[in-house]
């Protein structure tokens, strides 16, 4: 199993943070263009899911899978959006996203007095803690047989 | 957990308020004074069930254990003295620095986050009858060293 990359957007669609681990193919776009495309697609899917659902959706859009990768989506009540790409076999990615939010984002970004809300994250401490969490998670460690 | 984050956020805002960009000389005195009055008041509440202290060292020890625990949820890691009124208090993971990266740019900002605590300790000691000067130094984030110099006269 593998973790490819992570986007964090704020509620206005600004890219707060980007990280990648096992990404082998680049899009050929700049970071900003790629982020805009990702954000646009995800927000379209989000509204599509809401409109097309045959019953009242509780959580709305959670993830989609292709035959090569899966895109997992977590939106917080405050409008922060966490988008994590993994391979298709990854399990419990939702828990990992929750942990990235509550244990890393809240602790090392929200509580960092040198971060001003609405600006991209540059804190090294946050980067290290995030890297640590993702690398320790079973989704990252176990190899495909 | 929730009460901690309230204190942390409030402290960060007090620091911002006292030391905004218009404050060119990096004047920590307002911040230190807020700490002083806070410490002065706080000590009444914290010592209401405690018998009188024997001597100066015992008072300082109280600051390093009970006082520190009630504010920062941990004891200090090290206390040293030259027995002539100089005390060095070391906290290896100082609460207001644990969420900050340990780069040189952040190190420049570090004094902002320890000034309040200097005042806090000075205020607490002052109400316990010890006049002192408290300074702090940060060499590597998140460790912090406080120097307490008791003034005798």
Residues B101, A126: C-beta atoms closer than 8 Å: yes
* Residue B69 pLDDT > 60: yes
- What is the structure's pLDDT at B21? 64
The answer to whether B115 touches B28, Cβ cutoff 8 Å, is yes
Phi and psi, residue B67, nearest 5°: -60, -50
Q: Is the peptide bond before A89 cis (omega within 30 degrees of 0)?
A: no
Please state the domain count of chain A. 1
Residues A124, B109: C-beta atoms closer than 8 Å: no
The answer to whether A10 touches A117, Cβ cutoff 8 Å, is no
Model pLDDT for residues A109-132, shown as the tens digit of each residue: 999 999 988 899 999 999 999 999
Residues B100, A114: C-beta atoms closer than 8 Å: yes
Model pLDDT for residues A28-85, shown as the tens digit of each residue: 889 899 999 999 999 999 999 999 999 988 888 999 999 999 999 999 999 999 999 9
Radius of gyration of chain B from its Cα atoms, rounded to whole angstroms: 15
Contact residues of B toward A, CB < 8 A: 5, 8-9, 11-12, 15-16, 96, 99-103, 106, 109, 113
* Residue A114 touches chain B, beta carbons under 8 Å: yes
ipTM tops 0.85:
no
* Residue A138 pLDDT > 90: no
Residue A70 DSSP class: E
Phi and psi, residue A65, nearest 5°: -125, 140
* CATH code (residue A58): 3.30.450.70
- What is the structure's pLDDT at A90? 84
In whole angstroms, give the CA distance from residue A48 to residue B33.
56
A125 chain-B contacts, CB cut-off 8 A: 99-102
- What is the structure's pLDDT at A142? 55
Domains, chain B, in order of start with CATH, read 1-18+27-150 (3.30.1380.20)
A95 falls within a domain: yes
pTM, 2 dp: 0.83
Strand B86-91 with B78-81, pairing? antiparallel
- What is the structure's pLDDT at A24? 85
* Residue B47 pLDDT > 80: yes
Residues A111, B5: C-beta atoms closer than 8 Å: yes
Mean pLDDT of A5-10: 94
B106 chain-A contacts, CB cut-off 8 A: 114
B11 chain-A contacts, CB cut-off 8 A: 113
- What is the structure's pLDDT at A14? 94
Model pLDDT for residues B113-134, shown as the tens digit of each residue: 999 999 999 999 999 999 999 9
Residues A125, B100: C-beta atoms closer than 8 Å: yes
Nearest-Cα residue of chain B relative to residue A108: B99
- What is the structure's pLDDT at A144? 46
Mean pLDDT of B135-139: 92
A143 falls within a domain: no
- What is the structure's pLDDT at A100? 93
- Token reading at A59: 């959580």
Percent of chain B with pLDDT over 70: 94
Domain hosting A126: range is 3-136
The answer to whether B102 touches B93, Cβ cutoff 8 Å, is no
Q: How many CB atoms lie within 10 A of CB B119?
A: 25
- What is the structure's pLDDT at A145? 41
A144 falls within a domain: no
In whole angstroms, give the CA distance from residue A16 to residue A106.
13
A141 falls within a domain: no
In whole angstroms, give the CA distance from residue A65 to residue A67.
7
Mean pLDDT of B86-99: 92
* Residue A143 pLDDT > 60: no
**Interface with B, mutate which of A125, A126, A129, A130 (most B CBs under 10 A):** A125
Spell out the alpha helix ranges (H) of A1-145: 31-52, 93-99, 124-136, 138-141
To the nearest whole angstrom, how far is the Cα of A127 from the nearest Cα of chain B?
Answer: 10
A121 falls within a domain: yes
């Amino acid at each position: 199993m593998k973790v490819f990359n992570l986007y964090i957007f704020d509620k206005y669609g600004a890219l707060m943070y980007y990280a990648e681990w096992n990404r082998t193919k680049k899009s050929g776009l700049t970071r900003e263009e790629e982020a805009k495309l990702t954000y646009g697609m995800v927000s379209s899917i989000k509204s599509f899911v809401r409109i097309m659902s045959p019953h009242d959706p509780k959580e709305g859009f959670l993830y989609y899978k292709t035959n090569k990768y899966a895109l997992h989506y977590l939106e917080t009540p405050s409008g922060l959006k966490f988008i994590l790409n993994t391979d298709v076999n990854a399990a419990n990615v939702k828990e990992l996203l929750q942990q990235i939010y509550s244990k890393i984002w809240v602790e090392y970004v929200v509580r960092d007095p040198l971060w001003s809300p609405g600006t991209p994250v540059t804190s090294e401490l946050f980067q290290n803690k995030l890297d640590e969490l993702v690398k320790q998670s079973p989704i990252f460690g176990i190899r495909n047989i | 957990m929730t009460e901690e984050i309230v204190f942390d956020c409030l402290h960060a805002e007090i620091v911002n308020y006292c030391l905004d960009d218009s404050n060119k000389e990096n004047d920590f005195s307002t911040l230190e004074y807020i700490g002083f009055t806070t410490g002065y008041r706080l000590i009444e509440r914290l010592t209401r069930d405690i018998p009188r202290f024997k001597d100066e060292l015992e008072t300082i020890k109280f600051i390093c254990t009970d006082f520190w625990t009630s504010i920062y949820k941990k004891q200090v890691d090290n206390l040293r003295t030259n027995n002539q009124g100089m005390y060095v208090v070391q906290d290896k993971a100082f609460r207001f620095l644990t969420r900050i990266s340990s780069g040189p740019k952040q190190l420049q900002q570090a004094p902002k986050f320890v000034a309040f605590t200097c005042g806090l300790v000075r205020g607490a000691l002052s109400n316990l009858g010890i006049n002192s000067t408290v300074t702090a130094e940060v060499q590597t984030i998140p460790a912090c060293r406080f120097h307490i110099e008791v003034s005798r006269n």
